[in-house]
Amino acid sequence: MSKPSDLIQGTLDLLILKTISLEPRHGWAIAKRIEQVSNDVFQITQGALYPALHRLEQQGWIRGEWRTSETGREAKLYALTKAGRTQLEKELAQWERLSSAVALVIGMA
Partner 1 sequence: MNPRRWYSVIGMRLRAVLQRDRVERDLDKELRFHLQQQIEENVAAGMSPDEARYAAMRRLGGAEQIKEECRDMRRTAYLEDLGKDLRYTLRALRKSPGFAVAIVLSLGLSIGANSAIFSAIDGVLLKPLPYPRADRIARLFFSSNEYPEFSLNPFDFRDLRVRAHSFEALAAFTRGDVQLSGSGEPVRLAAFRVTAGYFQVLGLVPALGRAFEEKEELPGNGRVVVLSNRIWRTQFGAAPDIVGRKITLDLQPFTVVGVMPPGAEHPGNEYHALPYGDSVDAWWPFTFEGDPSQRGSHYVEGIGRLKPGVTPAQAQAELNTLLGEIGHEHGGYGGWHMLVIPLYREIVGPDERMLLVLLGAVGLVLLIACANAANLLLARATARQREIAVRMALGAARARLLRQMLTESLLLALVGGGFGALLAPGGVRALVALLPAGFPRADSIQVNASVFGFTLLVALAAGVLFGLAPAMQSSRVDLQQALREGARGATGSRHHQRLRDALVVAEVGLASVLLVGAGLMLRSFVNLVRMDPGFRPEHVLTASLSLPDTDYKTSAGVAHFYDQLVANLAAAPGVKAAGAGSDLPWTGYDENDGGFTIEGEKPAPGEEFHARYHVATPDYFRALGIPLVRGRFFTEGDRTDAPNALIVNETMARVYWRKRDAVGGRVAFSDNPKEKDWMTVVGVVGDVKDRPDAAGAEPAFWWPMLQVPFAQMSVAVRADSGAAQLANELRREVHRLDPTLAVADVRLMDQIADAGVSTARFAFFLVGLFAGLAITLAAIGTYGVISYSVNQRTHEFGMRMALGAGRRDVLRLVLSQGVRLAMAGVVLGAAGAAILARVLRSLIFEVSPADPLTFAAVVALVLAVAVVACYIPARRATDADPMVALRSE
Binding positions for partner 1, rule: CB under 8 A: 26-28, 45-47, 50-51, 54-55, 57-61, 63, 66, 69, 71, 73-76, 81-83
CB of 101 to partner 1, least distance (A): 28
* 79 CB burial (10 A radius; 0-12, 13-18, 19+): middle
Give least dist CB 30 to partner 1, A. Answer: 10
Burial letters for 13-33: b for 16+ Cβ neighbours within 10 Å, e otherwise?
Answer: bbbbbbbbeeebbbbebbbeb
Q: Which residues pair with 76 in a beta bridge?
A: 66
Element (DSSP H or E) covering residue 95: helix 82-108
Q: Are 97 and 85 in contact (CB under 8 A)?
A: no
Smallest gap from residue 84 Cβ to partner 1 (A): 9
Smallest distance from partner 1 to CB 97, Å: 23
Residue 65 or 96: the one with the smaller Cβ distance to partner 1 is 65
Cβ closest to partner 1, residue 18 vs residue 76: 76
Which CB atom, from 59 or from 100, has the smaller least distance to partner 1?
59
